[in-house]
Amino acid sequence: MNNAVSPYELFTKTAAAYAQNPFLHIPAVASRAYADGPIDFTYAAALSEIERLKDDYARAGYQNGQRIALALENRAAFFFHWFALNSLGVSIVPLNIEYAADEMAYVVKHSDACLVVAAPDHADGVLNTLTGEGVAVSVLPCDETATLPNANLSCDSADILRSTECAMLFTSGSTGKPKGCILSNEYFTAMANWYESLGGLCALEPGSERLITPLPLVHMNALACSTMGMVATGGCLIQLDRFHPSSWRETVKESGATVIHYLGVMPAILLTLPELPVDSDHTVRFGFGAGVNPKYHATFEERFGFPLVEGWAMTETGSGGCIMANHEPRHVGTACVGKPPDAVDVRIVDEDGADVEAGVSGELLVRAAGENPRKGFFSGYYKNESATDDAWAGGWLHTGDLVKSSKDGSLHFVDRKKNIIRRSGENISALEVEAVLSAHADIDSVVVSAVHDDLRGDEVMATIIPARECERNEAAALAIFENARESLSYYKLPGYIAFVDDLPLTASQKPKRGEMRAFGESLVRDGRAFDLRSRKKRSKPQKAAV
């Protein structure tokens, strides 16, 4: 167990103990957009680069209390800039390069980031995007820190503590705009301790693990869990840019991965590929993730030869409320996420806040056991104290997730109470998508909801009452879809659009959110929805203006 104050301090301790151990490996398949081959760093080499950047930022006057946005994708530079900034008490704001223009502008502006550090091939595009949205902030290519703009601070820097902000991650909520989750140094070091001591099927061997993940560093799992787990134990992080189904099996084998971090969509996709000897010819001991389709769980484990260990957590909980099925029985095929550990207090409650019996679905409430119920959790929502108070109503974090417990105390995930669509690991606010679609002249009213998708878990469904003069054909649906592309990331776009005369409404004429999923799925099943899923493509990297 480490007692480091910050991720940077933990990294320096690990680098001293495992100097020549590999810290980072980026396979060629993940670096081909910007490098000629694979990328490798030992702990000693990584620390040298971190210290160089630390000196550059310190000379320019950056210090505790500031935030810098990182548009560095899943590249090696992300880790080096993050740890260097953390050493000075500067918080990072991971910036998704695939954000639509207004999304990127919102995150940078709302976070009060004083600078954006971007990959060299994206810097001009990011600057053009932010300038076009009226956000005045400097954008610096990550390889030009010798020319950092001055921080323009006159105050003395405060001491760097466990409570010092380390990062701000934006997570979709049940209201339109994403909320900025403030994550402290303790959030990250507690995650390191949690993973290091997890044990059971997920026991980590110090100095020898190689963890492969395709998850993005703009999310908590890759940033806090996989990275800190490897740093805590002197292991090697194998960081991909994204999930590449066609080359996944070969990459896992060639990289020598011993641990896989997965999204629930990945097993379903991999099971569609032809069976090959390489399926079970690897060194993987376990997979760690969430949301695998129960009907594929056992089939995947039998074919690929390692357990998929399901867990439950949120950006807001960090390790403080994390639950894992890392011990048998795992109840494979039942959406089981394991038994709450002694360090986590749990309640399952009905709509009136009363505890429900075993086997009955209710909302999951969590807190850390002991004197500090928020230990290891997020520090709050930035500029949104009321939302933080609401989340912690009654001294428990209200997760918005529905679960039920079995007789042995295991928890089984049921659904999401809050208005969130979980597509391929991305949390999508239905209200955010509705706000964009509602601006279209052909739409009188619209409700966005989740519908089931075998591969992605959820898909975005837009059920529309059109304006009186609007056509109700595929061309009209496609026009609405393409118009939304200007304001939404590709994964937030509606995969299905259906035109209807009426929507399920409450007595106060509000959408019956609880009925929309079933309603939308009936429209899909009956062939009354236009299937636009094939048009949801990743955007190409932004190009610099000529």
Cα separation, 332 vs 344, in Å, equals: 23
Structure tokens at 124: 């001009």
| Residue 65 within any structural domain of the chain | no
In order, the DSSP letters of 188-204 are: HHHHHHHHHT--GGGPP
Q: What is the structure's pLDDT at 540? A: 47
Q: What is the structure's pLDDT at 470? A: 84
For position 501, which CATH number holds? 3.30.300.30
Segment 516-521 long-range contacts (CB within 8 Å, at least 24 positions apart): 516/447, 516/449, 516/461, 516/463, 517/449, 517/450, 517/451, 517/452, 519/449, 519/463, 520/449, 520/450, 520/451, 520/461, 520/463, 520/496, 521/451, 521/452
| Residue 485 within any structural domain of the chain | yes
Report the relative pairing of strands 165-171 and 179-184 from DSSP bridges.
antiparallel
Strands (E), 38-159: 39-42, 67-71, 91-94, 115-118, 139-141
Helix (H) or strand (E) holding 422: strand 420-423
Q: Which domain holds residue 463?
A: 421-535
Q: What is the structure's pLDDT at 336? A: 97
Strands (E), 119-174: 139-141, 165-171
List Cα–Cα distances, 213 to 73, 101, 337, in angstroms.
13, 27, 20
78 within 8 A of 39, measured Cβ to Cβ: no
Structure tokens at 423: 């597509």
| Residue 496 within any structural domain of the chain | yes
List Cα–Cα distances, 424 to 89, 108, 172, 403, 413, in angstroms.
33, 25, 14, 20, 17
List Cα–Cα distances, 79 to 41, 105, 413, in angstroms.
11, 23, 33
Burial of 190 (0-12, 13-18, 19+ CB in 10 A): buried
| Residue 204 within any structural domain of the chain | no
Predicted structure pTM score? 0.86
| Residue 134 within any structural domain of the chain | no
Q: What is the pLDDT along the chain (546 residues), one digit of tens a residue?
A: 789 999 999 999 999 999 999 999 999 999 999 999 999 999 999 999 999 999 999 999 999 999 999 999 999 999 999 999 999 999 999 999 988 899 999 999 999 999 999 999 999 999 999 999 999 999 999 999 999 999 977 666 789 999 999 999 998 654 468 899 999 999 999 999 999 999 999 999 999 999 999 999 999 999 999 999 999 999 999 999 999 999 999 999 999 999 999 988 899 889 999 999 999 999 999 999 998 989 899 999 999 999 999 999 999 999 999 999 999 999 999 999 999 999 999 999 998 999 999 999 899 999 999 999 999 999 999 999 999 999 999 999 999 999 999 999 999 998 777 778 989 888 888 878 988 898 898 898 899 999 999 888 899 999 999 988 888 999 999 999 999 998 899 999 999 999 999 888 765 567 788 789 999 999 999 999 999 999 998 864 444 332
| Residue 449 within any structural domain of the chain | yes
| Residue 495 within any structural domain of the chain | yes
Domain count, the chain: 1
Q: What is the structure's pLDDT at 171? A: 85
* Type of residue found at 378: F
Cα separation, 379 vs 544, in Å, equals: 37
Report the length, in residues, of the chain.
546
Cα separation, 315 vs 208, in Å, equals: 28
H-only helix segments in 171-323: 185-196, 220, 227-233, 245-255, 265-270, 294-304
Cα separation, 477 vs 494, in Å, equals: 10
Closest CA to 8 of 86, 90, 89: 86
Label residues 310-349 b or e (16+ Cβ within 10 Å = b).
bbbbbbbbbbbbbbbbbbeebbbeebbbbbbbebbbbbbb
| Residue 131 within any structural domain of the chain | no
